[in-house]
Amino acid sequence: MSDSNSPITSEIPAAERDLWLRKAQTLSDALPYMCQFGGKRVVVKYGGHAMGEEALALQFAQDIVLLNQVGIEPVVVHGGGPQIKKMLERLKIQSEFIDGLRVTDKATVDIVEMVLAGSINAEIVTAINRSGGFAIGLSGKDGNLIKCRKLARTKKDPDSSIETVLDLGFVGEPVEVNTHILKHFEQSDIIPVVAPIGYGEQGETFNINADTAAGSIAGALQAARLLMLTDVPGVLDKNKKLIPDLTIADARRLMEDGTISGGMIPKIETCIEAVEGGVEAAVIMDGRMPHAVLLELFTPRGAGTLIRKG
């Protein structure tokens, strides 16, 4: 393959030629993975913390376009927690969290929808389109994509065992994902970018945790992968070392012994639910790493923690 005496390569300085050949080899090495995922659906959850500087956001967008170009069906579901926080602070609206979920009153849900379905969604769509793709922005209201009911949470008092119902306001729990609109874009160059906003029976607007929304969409699409882009390398063990693979049973054990805590718990629960619901595997990975999505899908080592059934 690397005939250094060929008329094309003999003219080129050796270092440059080796670099070209390495690039060509990298592309060639990706071929089996492109064949593996070609025609399959990959849902990418792009978290608010993973949306770093502009250069990184453009790189993410290019990676998504590349997936589409090689025949994979990517669906981007984005978050925006830090961006909502900033806007609420600017408007002097207080916000509190229960179990990692934002308590969402009417004024807050209007802001959440504006930030998620408005500015962030448009930014991601623009980045993908600047990278040569054809992205289309949707919220869970479009095409009846995500029907919700009000999320019911209870809290048990450890002393009295009395359960109290917590009111999180307009926080939605997906009850039905209608994939009609997403399937409509398959086998085309159109890339759906979904904001985690849902609709209710009475026409209400619901704020959905973005991990939950991505998991529900991945399950409904029976995706080959659910990629959760966050701001840690993946699931870390007690010594802060990355765990590359987990079965559902392993993940449950790590939650029980406290290795997995805080914001990682709902993430893992979403992955478990998605995998139990028919998604081949879910991956928790660092979205701030350049080309994280390509590394995960097109290299033998992958990029983060891969969770599969057993």
Ligand X SMILES: CC(=O)N[C@@H](CCC(=O)OP(=O)(O)O)C(=O)O
Q: Annotated binding site for substrate: which residue ranges?
A: 80-81, 102, 207
**What secondary structure does DSSP assign to 161-174, as a single string?**
--EEEE--BSBEEE
Count of residues interacting with ligand X (CB under 6 A):
15
Cite the annotated binding site by residue number: 80-81, 102, 207
Residue 215 touching ligand X (CB under 6 A): no
How far, in Å, CA of 37 to CA of 179, rounded?
A: 20
Looking at 65, 84, 246, 284, which residue binds ligand X (CB under 6 A)?
84
210 makes contact with ligand X (CB under 6 A): yes
Q: What is the DSSP letter of 115?
A: I
What would the x/- binding string for ligand ADP be over residues 2 to 41, using CB under 6 A? ----------------------------------------
Instruction: List the x/- string, 75-94, binding to ligand ADP by CB under 6 A.
Output: ------x-------------
3 state DSSP class of 137? strand
> Within positions 21 to 60, which residues make up the interface with ligand X, using CB under 6 A?
47-49
- Give ∠ CA 211-110-221 in degrees, rounded to 5: 30
Site size with ligand ADP, rule: CB under 6 A:
18
Q: Does 205 bind ligand ADP (CB under 6 A)?
A: no
Q: Which does 112 bind (CB under 5 to 8 A by kind): ligand ADP, ligand X, none?
A: ligand X
**CA quadruple 304, 62, 57, 205: dihedral sign:** negative
207 binds, among ligand X, ligand ADP, none (CB under 5 to 8 A by kind): ligand X
Site for ligand ADP in 254-283 (CB under 6 A): 259-264, 267
Distance CA 143, CA 220 (A): 15
Q: Which is nearer to ligand X, 62 or 207 (CB)?
A: 207
Q: Kindly state whether residue 284 participates in binding ligand X, applying the rule CB under 6 A.
A: no
Strand ranges for the chain from DSSP E: 41-46, 73-78, 97-98, 101-102, 134-139, 146-150, 153-156, 163-166, 172-177, 190-195, 197-199, 205-207, 225-230, 245-247, 281-286, 305-308
Question: Pick from 43, 101, 168, 235: which binds ligand ADP (CB under 6 A)?
Answer: 235
Tokens of 11: 């003219």
What one-letter code names the amino acid at 59? Q
- In angstroms, what is the minimal distance from the CB of 171 to ligand X? 4
Query: DSSP letters along 183-212, please?
Result: HHTTTSSEEEEEESEEE-TTS-EEE--HHH
**List of residues contacting ligand ADP (CB under 6 A):** 47-49, 81, 100, 211, 230-232, 235-236, 259-264, 267
**List of residues contacting ligand X (CB under 6 A):** 47-49, 79-81, 84, 101-102, 112, 171, 196, 207, 209-210
